[in-house]
Each structure stands twice: as structure tokens, then as C-alpha cells.
Amino acid sequence: MVIDLDRCNGCGACAVACAVENNVPPAHQQANTRNAVSLMNVSAVSNHEQFPAGDTAYIPMFCQQCENETPCMTVCPQNAVDVDPVTGIVGQVPQRCLGCRYCMTACPYHARTFNWRDPEWTDGMKAQLNPAVAPRMRGVVEKCNFCHGRLHAAREKAAAAGRNEIDPADYVPACVASCPTNAITFGDLNDEESDVCRLSKSDGAFRFLARLGTEPKVYYHTTKPWVRALAERSLTRTRQEEFHG
């Protein structure tokens, strides 16, 4: 996946589509960023300059699908995290999760969320739940999995047609389909002819915390140097340097 931050306007349509597609229940009244279930978060960042040099960007953050020594999978005592050898997607198996939250601690992107409560929906919302995605129970961790329900549907369609490979047009995650500015490109990074592969190698493409060596499969793109600098913030910077970006 490649996300063009110069196109993203922070509307949050991707986060809403993600919640609807994956049967994420509405937040309870006392919910906050620490106890609400959210598979995708869109954060506003600023260069902290005065007008007219001031600038703002929006960064959608979710599971970065780490390829190398996936931190969450490495620490899980239950083998509740797996990496699909075909797609490379990092998956979560809620039936195995015991809720220890080691994976949440290990994730450098804070991209995992914990279910503190059993899911609850209004009667009207129950009728609109996605039958392809099972709701998760209280006490387990979850994360973005690139809409596995849509992947399964694409595989079933291919099998019914006697094909081994899915049609890329049949597998588009909800966040990609819902983006009004077409800021998100999805596809096979191993396919040299694909748009996502080309964009991941273009000037201005980068990955957050690439220095960790986890080889995330989510790339970002921007022409703004100050936004790129956010991706590799040093832990040795002073509080004043951190504040001024």
C-alpha cells in the first residue's frame, strides 16, 4: 500500500469505511484514544511555523504489515499472530488471543487496539453488519488485516471461475475504495508492473521507522521534507527540538 500524504485531506472516510467493513462497534460514552477500538487513525501534524509558512498534513496510521521479524508476532505467546506466506499480510487470530497485550507493547506504530468490552450495536446497526467478518469478543487484541473478508471473497470468486490467481480488481480494501481523493494505492509490491510497486520506488516515497528494519509493506509519499522527517524521529532529541519539529 502507498498513501499519498499530499492528497490526504484528513476527512476520515477511510477510518469510517474500515470500521463499517470490519464490524467495529461504535465507541461507548467514556471512550478515548486509549480504550476505544479503532483499526485506523488519522492524525493531523504541523510544521509549527507561523503564518504564512505554517503547514498541516494528515497521516493515516494502522498496521504497517511488517515483513522482517514482525514485532507483534515475535512476542505473542499464543501464536495468535501470523504472516500469510502468499500475501505477506500480518493476520490476527482472536480465538487464540489471551489478551496479554504484549503485541501492543511491541508494535512501534501503536497500531493495535484492545477490546475492553463486548461489542454492542443498536438494532438498526445489527441488520447492517458485514457477514464476511466475525465480530471480536471482549479481552482480545485486533488490528488492520487489509480487509481479509474481501480477500476471501476474491479467492472464492477466482476458484469458482477455475482460476488460481485472484483478479486485483476484486480485492480492494475498504479504505482504498472509500478515499475521495484517491490518496491510497493498493496492490502487489512484488509485481514490477503494478502501480503500487512503481509508487513505492518513486521519489518522495518513504516508510515510517524504517530504521528498525521491520520492512513494513505500507509506504507513504510526500513532497514535503518536514513530513518525511517525522518518519525517522530520533529518540535522542531534546524536548524543545521535539516540540518545534
Q: Where are the domains of the chain?
A: 2-244
Q: Where are the beta strands (DSSP E) in 140-186?
A: 141-142, 184-185
Q: Is 147:174 a contact under the CB 8 Å cutoff?
A: yes
Q: Record the cell numbers describing residue 78, joined without a space.
A: 499464543
Do 219 and 197 form a contact (C-beta atoms < 8 A)?
no
Q: Which residue's entry shows cell 493531523?
A: 44
Write down the pLDDT at residue 34. Answer: 80
pLDDT of res. 245 = 46
Residue 33: the pLDDT is 77
Which residue reads 525517522 in cell numbers? 232
* Fold of the domain built from segment(s) 2-244: Alpha-Beta Plaits (3.30.70)
Q: Which helix (H) or strand (E) holds 94?
A: none
Per-residue pLDDT of the chain (245 residues; tens, 9 = 90+): 999 999 999 999 999 999 999 999 988 888 887 888 999 999 999 998 888 889 999 999 999 999 999 999 999 999 999 999 999 999 999 999 999 999 999 999 999 999 999 998 888 888 899 999 999 999 999 999 999 999 999 999 999 999 999 999 999 999 999 999 999 999 999 999 999 999 999 999 999 999 999 999 999 999 999 999 888 775 444 445 444 44
Rounded to an integer, what distance in angstroms lies between the CA atom of residue 64 and that of residue 201? 17
